[in-house]
Amino acid sequence: MYKLREVKYEDYEAINLLTNNKENTHLHDDVSYMEQAFFDRMLVDESIRWYAVEKDAHIRAFVLFQLDVSTKEIHIDRFTIDAAYKNKGLNEHLYSKVERLAERKSFTKMRTEISTTELDVYDFFESKGWIKAENGSYVLTMKK
């Protein structure tokens, strides 16, 4: 059974294991080591939300996004899924959590940058109504 929860300090190593493997990236093809100081700042930043999907006491996916209250926009920064768990609905699980939060807080847009060779990532976001903006980012205008 999958468990959706907020990321906590003890998750640093597990998050880094996911981000250090190119096969696990979902929005970008790059691999990035996350410094402990950056990780710690993200956990205490009031504008940041960070959710993980856990199975068998291991993090299998996570989403990191920022809330901009002044513009009523959400920016999805990282959306990472363990390659062994792709096509198992984890993207839907995480995405719906972000979408419900956006609706509950009356946000008007969500935005992200996608730069991957994985075409199914583009298909996933486009199937949710996201469109490519002139600046190359992907945007979803929320329904009122």
Distance CA 77, CA 91 (A): 14
Q: pLDDT for 9-39, tens place per residue?
A: 999 999 998 888 878 777 777 777 788 999 9
- Torsional class of 87: left (φ above 0), alpha (ψ -120 to 50), beta (otherwise): left
For the chain, domains (ranges, CATH) are 3-141 (3.40.630.30)
Tens-digit pLDDT profile for residues 59-112? 999 999 999 999 999 999 999 999 899 889 899 999 999 999 999 999 999 999
The predicted structure's pLDDT at residue 139 = 93
Give CA 61 to chain center in angstroms: 9
Comparing C-alpha atoms, which of 119, 39, 45 is closest to residue 78? Answer: 39
- Give the residue with greater pLDDT, 119 vs 24: 119
Q: For residue range 44-63, what is the model confidence (pLDDT) as tens digits?
A: 999 999 999 999 999 999 99
For residue 68, how many C-alpha atoms fall within 13 Å in the half-sphere facing its CB?
12
